[in-house]
């Protein structure tokens, strides 16, 4: 059995101002770097760290790996956030103004972006590939809120927004995937923790 600790990156500069990121590549904010450093103590034992190829995830993963005394993270483009197409760089209010009602459903479909079905397919392939590459190991995978929530929905959980450095444990055994409850790697009651409602 492979255990994948799938977590969202630290706060990015666009998270801080509520802009939808998708495949855009803004860096971590100084708060995001602090969040990653705080999270190290809560991770426990892992064998390897991997990351999405977007720098907010890569930089979070690098801080975590260094804090855990592990090798720099391997980069996996398949773990990147959903492409949000025409919504990239916009705030929730701007999206609502230009596309009234478009955000009302559980999995909105951004114009020109990645479909929900394509995102789930990519996410399943990514975690399945990790299980094949690291059998019997505990893998810390730094990804994005949209991808993690898509997996939760696929497995029958209707998720709330995911805080930075929040995530889930996935256990994969012989192709069977089980998702544990959400976990927060930083105390949700600390002032440092934010729950932005943007991808």
Which residues are marked as active site? 9, 81
Residues 162 and 194 sit within 8 Å (Cβ to Cβ): no
Buried-state track 5-39, b at ≥16 Cβ within 10 A, e below 16: bbbbbbbbbbbbeebbbbbbbbebbebbbbbbbbb
Residues 184 and 165 sit within 8 Å (Cβ to Cβ): yes
User: Mind giving me the DSSP string for 39-95?
Assistant: HHHHH---SEEEE-SSHHHHHHHHHHHHHHT-PPPEE-GGGSPPP-GGGTT-BHHHH
Which residues fall within 8 angstroms of residue 63, CB to CB, at 6 or more apart?
10, 33, 36, 37, 40
- The residue among 98, 116, 117 whose CA lies nearest residue 199 is 116
DSSP 110: -
Residues 195 and 35 sit within 8 Å (Cβ to Cβ): no
């Amino acid at each position: 059995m492979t255990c994948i600790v799938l977590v969202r990156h630290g706060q990015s500069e666009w998270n801080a101002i509520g802009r939808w990121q998708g495949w855009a590549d803004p860096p971590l904010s100084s708060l995001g770097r602090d969040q990653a450093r705080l999270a190290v103590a809560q991770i426990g034992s892992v064998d390897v760290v991997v990351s999405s190829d977007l720098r907010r995830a890569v930089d979070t993963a690098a801080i975590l790996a260094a804090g855990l005394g592990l090798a720099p993270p391997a980069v996996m483009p398949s773990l990147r956030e959903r492409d949000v197409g025409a919504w990239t760089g916009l705030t929730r209010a701007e999206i609502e103004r230009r596309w009234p009602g478009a955000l009302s459903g559980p999995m909105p479909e951004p114009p020109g972006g990645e479909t929900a079905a394509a995102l789930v397919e990519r996410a399943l392939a990514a975690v399945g590939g990790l299980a094949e590459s690291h059998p019997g190991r505990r893998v810390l995978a730094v990804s994005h809120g949209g991808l993690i929530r898509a997996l939760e929905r696929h497995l029958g959980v209707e998720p709330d927004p995911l805080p930075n450095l929040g995530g889930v444990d996935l256990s994969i055994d012989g192709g069977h995937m089980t998702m544990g409850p959400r976990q927060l790697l930083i105390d949700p009651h600390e002032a440092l923790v934010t729950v932005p409602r943007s991808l």
